């Protein structure tokens, strides 16, 4: 389970990471669409055991900024050739978003097999991801988007789901 974090208060970044690591959530995705996100990544990385990545990375410039801030993995809502090539060249774990067969095929062309399934519920939910596992059995997914405490176990039960991301664990307010 990867908590997806919108950090609006930098002073809360480190305590939040400490609480999550202590609670068994060491892998933390910080959305870079808030004002202090890059600073928050640097702060959270100081917490022993935390593995901190950047989410909502949509182009090579944001990728470079996230890596400079210390991000250890990169999550994107979608996949472009530019971003895909840049992430592969940077040799950093990369989870690009896919929602359709064509998206997955573009990822496979780049040599990628691990994807964020986004927006998971709105794109067809569990039934759609199950259907995609037929032609793309070699791929593994991290569904994110609209998943809740109530639905997380059903997603994690799928064979092609390695992990699930979601903001419900730490609501932004
Ligand atoms: C996002 O980029 O907003 C995330 O994927 C989180 O989705 P969620 O808020 O529906 O969990």
Tens of pLDDT, residues 60-84: 999 999 999 999 999 999 999 999 9
136 C-alpha vs ligand 1 centroid, how far in Å?
A: 24
Q: What is the band of 171 on the pLDDT scale with cuts at 50, 70, 90?
A: confident
Q: In sequence order, what are the beta bridge partners of 55? A: 31
Distance (Å, whole) CA 33 – CA 7: 9
Given pLDDT bands bounded at 50, 70 and 90, which one contains residue 172?
A: confident
| Structure token digits, residue 127 | 């039934």
Please say whether the beta carbons of 43 and 7 come within 8 A.
no
Q: Please report which confidence band the pLDDT of residue 26 belongs to, taking 50, 70 and 90 as the band edges.
A: very high
User: Is 22 marked active-site?
Assistant: no
- Determine which helix (DSSP H) or strand (DSSP E) holds 105, and give its type and residue range: helix 101-109
The one catalytic residue in 29, 43, 62, 121 is: 29
3 state SS for 150-173: CCHHHHHCCCCECCCEECCCCCCC
- Ligand 1 atom with the smallest distance to the CA of 146 is 10
Compute, in angstroms, the gap from residue 147 CA to the centroid of ligand 1.
8
CA dihedral 51, 142, 37, 86 (to 10 degrees): 90
pLDDT band at 173 (very low <50, low <70, confident <90, very high): confident
Residue 167 C-alpha to ligand 1 middle, in angstroms? 6
Residue owning the nearest CA to atom 4 of ligand 1: 145
pTM comes to 0.96
- Look up 14 and say whether it is catalytic: no
Q: List domains and CATH numbers for the chain.
A: 2-166 (3.20.20.70)
Residues recorded for the chain: 173
| pLDDT per position as a tens digit, 45-63 | 999 999 999 999 999 999 9
């Amino acid at each position: 389970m990867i908590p997806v974090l919108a950090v609006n208060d930098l002073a809360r970044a480190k305590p939040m990471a400490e609480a999550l690591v202590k609670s068994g959530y060491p892998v933390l995705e910080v959305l870079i669409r808030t004002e202090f996100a890059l600073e928050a990544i640097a702060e959270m990385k100081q917490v022993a055991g935390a593995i901190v990545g950047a989410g909502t990375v949509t182009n090579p410039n944001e990728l470079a900024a996230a890596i400079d801030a210390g991000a250890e993995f990169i999550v994107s809502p979608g996949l472009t050739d530019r971003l895909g090539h840049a992430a592969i060249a940077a040799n950093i774990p990369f989870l690009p978003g896919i929602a359709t067969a064509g998206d997955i095929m573009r990822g496979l062309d780049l040599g990628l097999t691990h994807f964020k399934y986004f927006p998971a519920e709105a794109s067809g939910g569990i039934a759609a991801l199950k259907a995609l596992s037929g032609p793309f059995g070699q791929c593994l997914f991290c569904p994110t988007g609209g998943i809740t405490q109530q639905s997380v176990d059903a997603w994690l039960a799928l064979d092609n789901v390695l992990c699930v991301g979601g903001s419900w664990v730490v609501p932004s307010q």
